[in-house]
Amino acid sequence: MLHPIAFNTPGNNDLQSLWERARALLQNQLGDATYRSWIAPLNLHSGTAHQITLTAPTRFVREWVASHYSDDLRRAWQTQLPQVQLIEVIVGSTVASASAAKKPVAPVAMATPVPSAREYTSPAAATAVVQELSESMGAPLDPRYTFDNFVVGKPNELAHAAARRVAESDTTIAGCNPLFMYGGVGLGKTHLMHAIAWHIRKHNPNRKVLYLSAEKFMYQFIRALRFKEALEFKELFRSVDVLMIDDVQFISGKESTQEEFFHTFNALIDQNKQLIISGDRSPSDLDGFEERVRSRLGWGLVADIHSTTYELRLGILQAKLEQMRPSVQVPTKVLEFLAHKISSNVRVLEGALNRILAHAALVGTTISVENTQHVLHDLLIAHDRRVTIEEIQKQVAMHYNIKLADMHSARRSRVVARPRQVAMYLAKQMTTKSLPEIGRKFGGKDHTTVMHAVKRIEELMQVDSELADDIALLTRTLQG
């Protein structure tokens, strides 16, 4: 028979110290960023000889950990307790009492929203006002931007899961408040925000949702000041249940708008209202923002959207075609050609597809790779003006603070070898050069060395979000 190891017994102290060691291993293995987001929030709940139970602060964290890190967790525990077979993660707080050790823990109750000191008007009126405000602010929701129309792939998996989670919940989710989504232009931030708003409007019409760009926020704020409506402005914003501010980088350097944003932000968080913010870079990289604002933006869940992969681009093209059901056939070869050639952002990709469809409809031809090349001539030239390997090497060396010469050297020290691999990876992604050609530019290395580097970086990016961030940033900088 298995005996639960209860808390506050000597046995459990041992268990706790084993957990500490397993955690340290995971930190090493997964990198700091992943560790901080997903492993650090877990607590030891209880254990038997074969099973360990951990608690996660929210259902979202639980689900994400269970689907992404359960093998890592099990292996880390097995280094400490070889007989452990199963790691269970439940939602709940750690209950540090012996008697409660094996009882399932009740899900953490959400703090009930504290009503604001001064309600704007009756709740129904406020909903109407917010609705009107959203509309009058000229930020209508695009009907195409729904979850159904969003293609999920590795690069946007986390942001999508978080957006869905927030949209489907009736209440604010503590671990996701604020939800900060960031990524380069045209990667789906606005699409996801609209999708959240549509979902809530449909399934939870009593929740007041306000979506607007940071630019509109500033404009409204300035207008309110001019017309001495600052108080109304404040109260309106504070009466919403879900506030979404798109492209927050817009208010970089705009001090008084930031000040107002910061107060609105704090007031809403204090009242347990849901905030969703998007930006073109992570909170810590936002220039022109006060430190306190940056740090607050990173309080909840920060989800990055990476550059698209070939597979995701192909998936998006296929999904778009399915939606549009054009009368002409678009051969798979053409879709592959587009997904291969147009890697910058999804908006451009969609534009390209629309253009070849429009052209085919107009001149009544079939669609082939040849006429696609012809129709998209200007676009393809712009894309072919790709970065050179030299530019990549220079940028990467600068980013990691190593000498440019180290890109060509044979030094194997990690400090230079990893950046070199990053540069090789980027050269493969961003140029049309072959593996042997790339190898030659890196001091005459073999093509297998380049292949290995590309694979290694791809693997690491899955587990090391800091590296993934570095690469996203470098890609953007290089694309200009």
Residue 187 and residue 305 in contact, taking contact as beta carbons nearer than 8 Å: yes
Identify the burial level of 208 via C-beta atoms within 10 angstroms of its C-beta, where 0-12 means exposed, 13-18 middle and 19 or more buried: buried
Part of the chain binding ligand ADP (CB under 6 A), chosen from 33-41, 109-117, 182-190, 353-361 = 182-190
316's tokens: 């998006």
37, 58, 134, 190: residue in contact with ligand ADP (rule CB under 6 A): 190
Q: Could you tell me the smallest distance in angstroms from the CB atom of residue 355 to ligand ADP?
A: 14
Which residue, 404, 414, 398, 478, is CA-closest to 443?
404
Beta strand pairing call for 209-213 and 242-246: parallel
350, 391, 437, 458: residue in contact with ligand ADP (rule CB under 6 A): 350
Part of the chain binding ligand ADP (CB under 6 A), chosen from 16-24, 76-84, 97-105, 186-194 = 186-194
Q: Is the peptide bond before 178 cis (omega within 30 degrees of 0)?
A: yes
User: According to the binding rule CB under 5 A, does residue 345 interact with Mg ion?
Assistant: no
How many other C-beta atoms can be found within 10 angstroms of the C-beta atom of residue 93? Answer: 15
Cα–Cα distance for residue pair 348/331, rounded to 1 Å: 19
Which residue, 437, 410, 413, 411, is CA-closest to 424?
437
Residue type, 92: G
Residue whose C-beta lies closest to ligand ADP: 188
Cα–Cα distance for residue pair 261/246, rounded to 1 Å: 13
Q: Could you tell me the smallest distance in angstroms from the CB atom of residue 88 to Mg ion?
A: 39
Q: Could you tell me the smallest distance in angstroms from the CB atom of residue 162 to ligand ADP?
A: 14
164, 189, 273, 420: residue in contact with ligand ADP (rule CB under 6 A): 189
User: According to the binding rule CB under 5 A, does residue 274 interact with Mg ion?
Assistant: no
Nearer to Mg ion, 189 or 208 (CB): 189
Beta strand pairing call for 301-305 and 274-279: unpaired
Q: Which of residues 140-159 bind ligand ADP (CB under 6 A)?
A: 145, 149-151, 156
The item of Mg ion, ligand ADP, none sharing an interface with residue 187, based on CB under 5 to 8 Å by kind, is ligand ADP
User: According to the binding rule CB under 6 A, does residue 197 interact with ligand ADP?
Assistant: no
* Residue 455 φ then ψ, to 5°: -65, -40
289's tokens: 């923002």
Nearer to ligand ADP, 185 or 379 (CB): 185
User: According to the binding rule CB under 5 A, does residue 12 interact with Mg ion?
Assistant: no
12, 58, 177, 190: residue in contact with Mg ion (rule CB under 5 A): 190
Residues at the site binding Mg ion, with contacts judged by CB under 5 A: 189-190
Residues at the site binding ligand ADP, with contacts judged by CB under 6 A: 145, 149-151, 156, 183, 185-191, 316, 346-347, 350
